[in-house]
Amino acid sequence: MNKIVKIVLAVIGVVAAILWYNLPGRDVPVSEAIDNGAMNAMFMLMYLLLGIAVAASVLFAIRAYFSNPKSLKKTLMLIVGFAVVVVIAYALSDGDDGTVEAMSSRGVETTTDVVRNIGTGLNVFFFLVIIAVGSMAWGGLKKVISK
C-alpha cells in the first residue's frame, strides 16, 4: 500500500510539474489566461487533492472517535452544545435593526435574512469568546482554590 501511494504521489507530482510549465506567462492577458487548459487542469488537480485530504482526515477522525466510546460521547456533547449556541444566537438576532435601509442607501442590496445570518454569526462568535474566556478563568480559579 505504501509503495502504491508513493507511485501515485510521484505521478501527480510529474503531472503538476508539466501543468506548471504550461501555465501562461505574465504577458498573456487575463481573459486568455482564464481559458488556459493547463490552469484549469491545475485547479482540478488541486480540488482533487484537497478532497482526498479532507476525506482522509474526516475518516481517520471518525475511526478514532468510534474506537473510544468516551471520546465519541464527549464529541457528540460538544457538537450538541455548539448547535445550542447557534440556535440561541439565531433566536437573538433580528434583521429589523435598520441595517437593510442603511445598506441600500449605500448601494448594497441586501435582505433581512442576510442581516439576520450575519447577526447570528456575530452572536455565535461573541458567545464562543465568552465561553472560552469563562472556561479559562474557571480553570485558573479552580487551580488557585485547590492549592
Instruction: Write the pLDDT tens digit of every residue in 69-92.
Output: 888 888 889 999 999 999 999 999
- How confident is the model over 23-44, as a mean pLDDT? 83
Q: What count of Cα atoms within 13 Å lies in the side-chain half-sphere of residue 44?
A: 8
d(CA 78, CA 108): 37
Q: What is the model's pTM?
A: 0.58
Confidence tier at 116 by pLDDT (50, 70, 90): confident
DSSP 28: S
d(CA 134, CA 2): 46
DSSP 104: H
pLDDT, position 107:
77
pLDDT, position 85:
96
User: Whole-number mean pLDDT of the chain?
Assistant: 87
